[in-house]
């Protein structure tokens, strides 16, 4: 079952509509938009070459494209290129998935429409992007941090051979499930040996991120659930451990039951950088 859930999460995707900022239209020869399916767990820079080729390289061989100039925005908010795509969607749309059937289609951005810019990079809001090597470096650093939180050291990642590290990155960059999980399963401890869970909590419609040392077993010797962790660290939004009253936790676009045990959730629900990235959605 664990591997089936991993595969389902891996195959999760979003339909995205990329539209050019008005001042870029002249360069594109009139091409205004691109519809593209993207992996929820992946990163936008891994699609940027394809996106820019579509808009600017069709019959425009003389145009030079600098990848580091380009950025995406949603509702005037720049997209963090170093965040997983699905996480950005869950945070920025802040949709209460429990009400999706009753909400109008206008509230559900499908496809998710983003604006592509090639000027005025928002350096005060998102990290500067210098190319795919920057993404690889960031991902590897996050993977080491997640490993340190799990194990108390980063040996499992640092001891990988260059070949295995490259295979792990190929799994990320090529969206290759087999390559990624073949190596990742040698890095992760068994669920019963897991002491702490690398977890980040993202507050609604903001860049505020809460990261705490989340133990699998609390001080009372009880196994932690999603609800107990949220009640401990965000009591103003989660006054109850069992019932979501003000907000709901969402992972990979899925509403998490408050009773979900933390350790098994981590084993199949972690992102490519080894963290559980849980977005908090206000109940509507």
User: Are 251 and 276 contacting, i.e. CB atoms less than 8 angstroms apart?
Assistant: yes
**In-domain check, residue 259:** yes
Q: Is 175 left (phi over 0), alpha (psi -120 to 50) or beta?
A: left
CATH number at residue 162: 1.10.246.190
Q: Show the tokens assigned to 281.
A: 């959605």
pLDDT tens digits along 133-190: 999 999 999 999 999 999 999 999 999 999 999 999 999 999 999 999 999 999 999 8
Asked, for residue 201, whether it belongs to a domain, the answer is: yes
What distance in Å separates the CA atoms of residue 45 and residue 85, rounded to the nearest whole number? 10
Q: 209 lies in a domain? A: yes
119: domain CATH number is: 3.10.20.620
Q: What are the residues whose beta carbons fall under 8 Å from the beta carbon of 233, sequence distance 6 or more? A: 201, 210, 212
Domain tally for the chain? 3
d(C-alpha 189, C-alpha 178), whole Å: 18
Q: Is residue 144 part of a domain?
A: yes
pLDDT attached to residue 58? 54
* DSSP bridge pairs for 68: none
- Among 25-39, 50-64, 136-150, 214-228, the range with the most confident prediction by mean pLDDT is 136-150
Number of Cβ within 10 Å of residue 245's Cβ equals: 11
In a domain, 263, yes or no: yes
Q: Are 249 and 230 in contact (CB under 8 A)?
A: yes
How far is residue 127's CA from residue 283's CA, in Å, rounded to a whole number?
A: 31
Residue 220 or residue 280, greater confidence = 280
Q: Are 270 and 236 in contact (CB under 8 A)?
A: no
Kindly state whether residues 230 and 243 are assigned to the same domain.
Answer: yes
Residues 43 and 89 in one domain: yes
**pLDDT band, very low/low/confident/very high, at 95 (cuts 50, 70, 90):** low
Q: Identify whether residues 245 and 261 lie together within a single domain.
A: yes
Element (H, E) at 117: strand 112-117
19 and 120 belong to one structural domain = yes
Residue that is last in its domain, among 148, 169, 188: 188
pTM: 0.92
Instruction: Write out the residue range of the structural domain in which residue 155 sits.
Output: 133-188
Instruction: Quickly tell me which residue has 């339909």 as its tokens.
Output: 15
Instruction: Give the tens place of pLDDT for each residue, 44-64.
Output: 999 999 999 888 875 455 456
Answer yes or no: is 240 within a domain: yes
């Amino acid at each position: 079952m664990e591997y089936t859930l991993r595969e389902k999460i891996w195959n999760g995707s979003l339909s995205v509509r990329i539209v050019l900022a008005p001042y870029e239209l002249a360069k594109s020869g009139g091409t205004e938009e691109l519809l593209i399916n993207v992996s929820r767990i992946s990163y936008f820079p891994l699609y940027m070459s394809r996106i820019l080729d579509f808009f600017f390289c069709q019959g425009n061989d003389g145009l030079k494209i600098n990848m580091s100039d380009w950025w995406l925005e949603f509702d005037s908010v720049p997209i963090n290129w170093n965040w997983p795509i699905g996480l950005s969607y869950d945070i920025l749309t802040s949709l209460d998935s429990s009400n999706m059937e009753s909400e109008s289609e206008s509230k559900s951005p499908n496809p998710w429409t983003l604006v592509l810019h090639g000027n005025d990079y928002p350096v005060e809001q998102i990290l500067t992007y210098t190319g795919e090597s920057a993404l690889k470096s960031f991902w590897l650093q996050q993977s080491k941090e997640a490993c340190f939180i799990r194990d108390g050291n980063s040996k499992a990642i640092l001891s990988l051979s260059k070949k295995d590290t490259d295979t792990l990155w190929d799994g990320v960059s090529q969206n290759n499930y087999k390559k990624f999980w073949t190596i990742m399963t040698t890095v992760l401890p068994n669920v019963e040996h897991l002491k702490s869970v690398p977890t980040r909590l993202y507050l609604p419609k903001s860049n505020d991120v809460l990261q705490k040392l989340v133990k699998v077993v609390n001080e009372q010797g009880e196994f932690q659930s999603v609800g107990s962790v949220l009640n401990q660290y965000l009591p103003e939004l989660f006054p109850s451990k069992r019932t979501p009253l003000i907000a709901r936790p969402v992972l990979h676009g899925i509403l998490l039951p408050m009773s979900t045990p933390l350790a098994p959730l981590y084993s199949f629900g972690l992102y490519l950088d080894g963290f559980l990235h849980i977005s908090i959605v206000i109940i509507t």
